[in-house]
Chains A and B, each alone.
Chain A
Amino acid sequence: MSAIIEARELVRDFKKTRAVDRMSFVVEPGETVGYIGANGAGKSTTIKMLTGILKPTSGQVRTCGLDPMRQRIEVARRVGVVFGQRSQLWWDLPLRESFTILAAIHRLDPAAGRARTQSLVDQLEMGPQLGTPVRSLSLGQRMRAELAAALLHTPDLLILDEPTIGLDVLSKQRLREFLVAERRERGTTLLLTTHDMGDIERLCDRVLVIDRGALAFDGTLAGLGATVGAQRLLVIDLAVPTASLTGIEGATLVANESQGLRQSLAFDPQTTTAAAVLARVSAVAQVRDLAIEEPDIEDVVRRIYAASRP
């Protein structure tokens, strides 16, 4: 099978601005790709060109081997999309009917449509809400319903544009668990834009970073961290107020709170370990508690921006 997404020198201009600037990338079947960048970097514009909503100013795009602008309907049959801020459900009707209508729109065999709906509803635990009008669903319930709606026709490619925006921690967690399971089961290709780095960490094995319309990074999440030297943070609570922990080998002090009761040390996991840093701290002070913070990808992205902007 050929590439699921193929973008070559993709450009989209709006009246005064260039939203997407000579983007080129290829996504193979089964990949899960996180597509990240600041607001207005061109993420949504790219997605809209991939799905035939927007016409590229120049360049080429193939989605599932098809030209999205000319073959919009064929592309729509093979791609599922969730726009976190828009709804594809019928607002005034009970949720069940949205699934019935979408199954018909996608020309699913009625029995197959019902079976697929049932399985998605079960996995997403939406059974009790089937009779509820969409307008009365909570945001978390609605997002799960949107996801089920996008997956109803078993698309080859699932595109999620900010799927966890505004969700509480628990709802995010459920959504991610479902996506991991769905992907394991069907090998659906996933393209995800998000501001929530937890989404990327949990779901994606490849990251595209877009900055001012152009591709700034394409590689693995670990590679992204390595590229910009992502550091881990060791937050240490001390038994008594202690002088600043400077001079710890392999670590730098980044914060000192509560008169030295809580101090944060940054270290590079490539060159040292949390245990080694802790041992060195324990030698000079009495540690009461500690926490290790993973690289904050938002920070990583910010550094990529900083690096790519002279």
Chain B
Amino acid sequence: MSTFWLLVRAGFRRHSTYRLALLAGMATNSVFGVIRASILLAALASAGTDIAGYDAPTAVAFVWWGQALLGTVNLWGFQEVNDRVRTGDIAVDFLRPVDPQLAYLAGDLGRAGINLLARGLPALAIGALLFHFAWPPGALSWASGLVSVLLAVVVAFAGSFVVNLLAFWLVEVRGIRMLYMIVGGLLSGLYLPVPWFPGWLQTIAQWSPFPSMLQNPLDILAGRVVGVDVISAVGVQVFWAVALLGLGQFVLSAGRRRLEVQGG
């Protein structure tokens, strides 16, 4: 078995040990799903028409797939690498004959896998029981949707990894992470679909990697983006995955050169 795959499995197993936390996450996602779906339905009802290509079933699907992917895609980022730089445990990562970014990516894919299975899909099922929503319109939407989810996980990981690496210079990046969470939550389409934004904010979002972390897979899975448009939605994600992973490599090697291992 390849090293990468083993590390994916380790991430999966590691995050599956805390079953109660997964259950709690699922319950929270479901409750917020009900609230968010109700708000979007109310907005659509008061508009009396579709908004930017979302009718009621599409909007509800957008919300519930979003809730299902919230634990899967690490939208708000992680703290682990920052912590390891802060405590000096990052030294151990450099003692292994693997690329640290690749190793952490593998671990995050495993984390995403268990969260999708144990937290995302049950939340989606609850949504499907309570609301009427549109399923992906065909096999192509399902398949490209899954690819898009995978890319979203990679883009979200790569972005957060870069933020974490700033710890090489700042030691503690909690403040920047907070900003990243707020901006990322908004621009990824978590609160409202990006096409509902005013024009200027849409422009900002479209030039940022955040829609690639949530909006794009949601649009494909909710059936709002179909046909040829799927290719450009996925293409943008591929671009951001490559760009952010590349940036991460660059920052990692720059950080390593100025590393001061904390805590002896």
Contacts and interface: CB of A to CB of B under 8 A. Distances in A.
Interface stretch (B29-37, B95-103, B164-172, B180-188): B95-103
A256 interface: no
Interface in A51-110: 51-55, 72-74, 76-77, 79, 81, 83, 85-88, 90, 92-93, 97, 100-101, 104-107, 110
Interface string B91-120: 110111110000100000000000000000
A14 B94 contact: no
B261 interface: yes
Given A53-B259, A86-B89, A77 B10 contact: no
A81 B6 contact: no
B6 A53 contact: no
Nearest to B94: A53
Q: Most chain-A CB neighbours within 10 Å: which of B3, B18, B95, B98?
A: B95
B3 A76 contact: no
A55 B257 contact: yes
A106 to B, nearest CB: 6
Given A48-B261, A53-B91, A86-B89, A105 B97 contact: yes
A196 B258 CA distance: 32
Interface string A280-310: 0000000000000000000000000000000
Given A100-B6, A133-B17, A105 B98 contact: yes
Contacts of A93: 10, 13-14, 17
A90 B256 contact: no
A106 B97 contact: yes
Contact of A53 (B13, B95, B103): B95
A32 to B, nearest CB: 20
Contact of A92 (B14, B258, B259, B263): B14
Give the interface size class of chain B: 20 to 34
A87 B264 contact: no
Nearest to A14: B260
B259 to A, nearest CB: 6
B181 to A, nearest CB: 24
Contacts of A44: 261, 264
Contacts of A76: 94-97
A85 B263 contact: yes
A133 B103 CA distance: 21
Contacts of B17: 92-93, 133
Given A72-B94, A77-B97, A104-B6, A54 B261 contact: yes
A86 B90 CA distance: 10
A107 B261 CA distance: 27
Contacts of B92: 83, 86-88
Interface string B1-38: 11100110010011001100000000000000000000
Q: How large is the interface on A (under 10, 10 to 19, 20 to 34, 35 or more residues)?
A: 20 to 34
B95 A88 contact: yes
B3 A97 contact: no
Contact of A55 (B10, B18, B256): B256
A73 B91 CA distance: 13
A51 B3 CA distance: 22
Contacts of A87: 89, 92
A184 B92 CA distance: 27
A77 B3 CA distance: 14
B14 A86 contact: no
Contacts of A77: 97
B261 to A, nearest CB: 6
Interface of B: 1-3, 6-7, 10, 13-14, 17-18, 88-89, 91-92, 94-98, 103, 256-261, 263-264
Q: List the 10 closest pairs (A to B, CB-CB), nearest first.
A: A76-B97, A104-B6, A73-B97, A104-B3, A92-B14, A53-B94, A77-B97, A53-B91, A88-B92, A92-B17
28 contacts: A14-B260, A44-B261, A48-B91, A51-B94, A51-B95, A52-B94, A53-B91, A54-B261, A55-B257, A55-B259, A72-B94, A73-B97, A76-B97, A79-B95, A83-B91, A83-B92, A85-B263, A86-B91, A87-B92, A93-B10, A93-B13, A93-B17, A100-B6, A104-B2, A105-B3, A105-B7, A105-B97, A105-B98
